Structure 1
Amino acid sequence: MSSDLWPPPQPVSLTVRDRDVRLPVRRLFFVGRNYHAHAREMGVTIDKATTQPFYFTKSALHLVPSGTTQPYPPQTRDYHHEVELVVVIGTEGFAISSSEAAALIYGYAVGLDMTRRDVQARLRERGHPWCLGKDVEGAAVCGAVTPMPGVVVSRGEIGLAVNGQVRQRADVVDMIWSVPELIADLSRYYHLQPGDVIFTGTPEGVGPVSPGDRIHGWVEGVGDVSLAIGTAADGGRG
């Protein structure tokens, strides 16, 4: 019988609010530019009538729980916060309609999509994938999952503060593509499975953080998320 050359990665999971269980995480999907005001601050305009949602992914190994301290990452001088409503899939589905999407929902959480913005911008200008700007160690942060089977969250304040100063504040109702629309669209490309996690996009007000900063994000009726930024991972900044 063969054995592993080295220990395999530890399973990735999230806490579940008010339940003594862990929720195994399978994949992390992120929706880009899902609020008009944020799209504008990124220099683009979204016409929903002629545009489809677009996505990027991060390794589940880069997911960290709320309340931790993560080092300021290497190779950036412009590390940004992005607060997001997070949807957790609890039932498999493929090529479903928006009207069927609610049945796949297990619950919701609040997440942070941390971004090396300067790296992302450089890659975007060259027409390259965003991986080095987005798929950063410790850059997917998620709070406890609130079980809400079959519930579609369609409104509620979403916001973020850094060191107590509010930087992002909007309403989930402002999303360009709703939760059911996103689930249905993703299911055209992937066989969605329990443990798939969808970060649904961030509102306007994204901005830089520095070592020593403390981030707090929230979504009304869902929960919150927090993160402390530690010293630079490489001993410097960029």
Structure 2
Amino acid sequence: MQIPDITVPTIAIAGSADRFPVRRIFCVGQNYADHAREMGSDPDRQQPFFFAKPADAVVANGSTLPFPLLTEDLHHEVELVIALGAGGANVPAGDAAALIFGAAVGIDLTRRDLQAVAKKAGRPWDMAKGFDRSAPIAALTPGVPADNGMIALDVDGETRQSGDLSMMIWSVPEIIATLSTYVELAAGDLIFTGTPAGVGPILRGQSVRATIDGFEPLTVTFAR
């Protein structure tokens, strides 16, 4: 048997024919107070926690996706995604912005029923969060993103989530700095920075549109 020839996942860059190679995907849990409350958690400024998705979970803007396996409760979570062009360990928050290549609109897809089972049993969330095609991402806009701006998501034209980036409990530099104490960050790493309240189910055949001021909107549709 031959050694497999594996292609590195990439995402588009706005205004360029070049593409950004994805090394790893990290996600911050419950980084908006209103979302923490709707998930039954205390939104006080506690240390952020992280989970991961595989790099090949990325999905291009405009894709039609098969409905995920083993779920009847697929949820949307619109998020600002940060792409790192450099890395490091124990990065001070004041130096974190220098690591950023750009940012984009993303959707953290979640098999909420599997997550609920895992939480009840005290087990990891891996299969609830890190499944195939669970990380749709629009084209990256190069540069450091603003710390404010409308973030929203609609399903078939109905607004489900609406908030502002300024509502984050932990800022983007703080997220990068804290994550760098757990792992040595590197160029190609992506960070999903959390979602505002309003997460909810997506049904077969529905289209989801996610937006953040100043970024390319993201749209994906689920097959029936």
- Give TM-score scaled by structure 1 length: 0.91
Matching residue's letter, 1:9: I
8 Å contact kept, 1:31–1:55: yes
Matching residue's letter, 2:128: G
Q: Which residue is equivalent to 2:193?
A: 200
Q: Which residue is equivalent to 2:220?
A: 227
| Deviations 1:53-78, CA, capped at 9 Å, x for gaps | 00100111121111101111121111
- Among candidates 48, 64, 68, match of residue 73 of structure 1: 68
Structure 1 vs Structure 2: percent identity of aligned residues?
A: 45
How many aligned residue pairs are there? 224
| Deviations 1:117-163, CA, capped at 9 Å, x for gaps | 01101101111000111111111110000001xx2421000000101
CA–CA distance in 1 between the matches of 2:53 and 2:87?
20
Gaps in structure 1 of 5+ consecutive residues? 232-238
Q: Which residue is equivalent to 1:122?
A: 117
Matching residue's letter, 1:121: A
Tell me the secondary structure at the aligned position of residue 194 of structure 1. coil
Q: Which residue is equivalent to 1:82?
A: 77
8 Å contact kept, 1:90–1:105: yes
Q: Which residue is equivalent to 1:109?
A: 104
Matching residue's letter, 2:67: Y
Find out whether 1:171 has 2:150 as its counterpart.
Answer: no
Q: How does 1:43-54 map to 2 (within 5 A)?
A: 43-48=40-45, 51-54=46-49
TM-aligned CA distance change 1:157 to 1:35, over 3 Å: same
8 Å contact kept, 1:116–1:133: yes
CA–CA distance in 2 between the matches of 1:111 and 1:168?
13
CA–CA distance in 1 between the matches of 2:175 and 2:146?
12
8 Å contact kept, 1:152–1:180: no
Find out whether 1:37 has 2:34 as its counterpart.
Answer: yes
TM-superposed CA distance for 1:6, in Å, is 4.6
Q: Which residue is equivalent to 1:8?
A: 5
Tell me the secondary structure at the aligned position of residue 42 of structure 2. coil
Matching residue's letter, 2:167: D
Larger radius of gyration: 1
Find out whether 1:100 has 2:95 as its counterpart.
Answer: yes
8 Å contact kept, 2:83–2:102: yes
Matching residue's letter, 1:216: R
Gaps in structure 2 of 5+ consecutive residues? none
8 Å contact kept, 1:153–1:179: no
- Give TM-score scaled by structure 2 length: 0.97
CA–CA distance in 2 between the matches of 1:197 and 1:8?
23
Q: Which residue is equivalent to 2:204?
A: 211
8 Å contact kept, 2:86–2:186: yes
8 Å contact kept, 2:103–2:145: no
8 Å contact kept, 1:81–1:209: yes
Q: Which residue is equivalent to 2:153?
A: 160
TM-superposed CA distance for 1:5, in Å, is 3.0
TM-superposed CA distance for 1:8, in Å, is 3.2
Matching residue's letter, 1:57: A
